[in-house]
Amino acid sequence: MENPSTVSPSWRLPLLKRLDIVLIVFELVLSVIFIAISYVTGNVYFRGVGIGLVIAWVTSAIAYFFKHRMVQP
C-alpha cells in the first residue's frame, strides 16, 4: 500500500501541467492583495511589495507570451 503523502491528489495534476500559467496568476493575485493592504493600512512597504510583484507579473507574462509565440508557427 502506498504512503498517502507521496500520492498526488487529482486536483494537483492539472495545475502542475500548467504551472507557468498558475504562477503568473498567483503573482497577479498576490500583487492585488498587497496593493489593497497598502491602501487600507497606508503602509508604503506593502505598496512596494505590491509594485514589485506587478513588475514580476508583467515580466513573466511577457516571457510566457514570447515563449508561446516562438514555439507555435
pTM of the model: 0.72
pLDDT tens track for 11-69? 777 777 778 888 889 999 999 999 999 999 999 999 999 999 999 999 998 988 888 77
The H helix count followed by the E strand count for the chain is 3, 0
Query: Tell me, what's the pLDDT at 69?
Result: 76
Distance separating alpha carbons of residues 36 and 45, to the nearest angstrom: 12
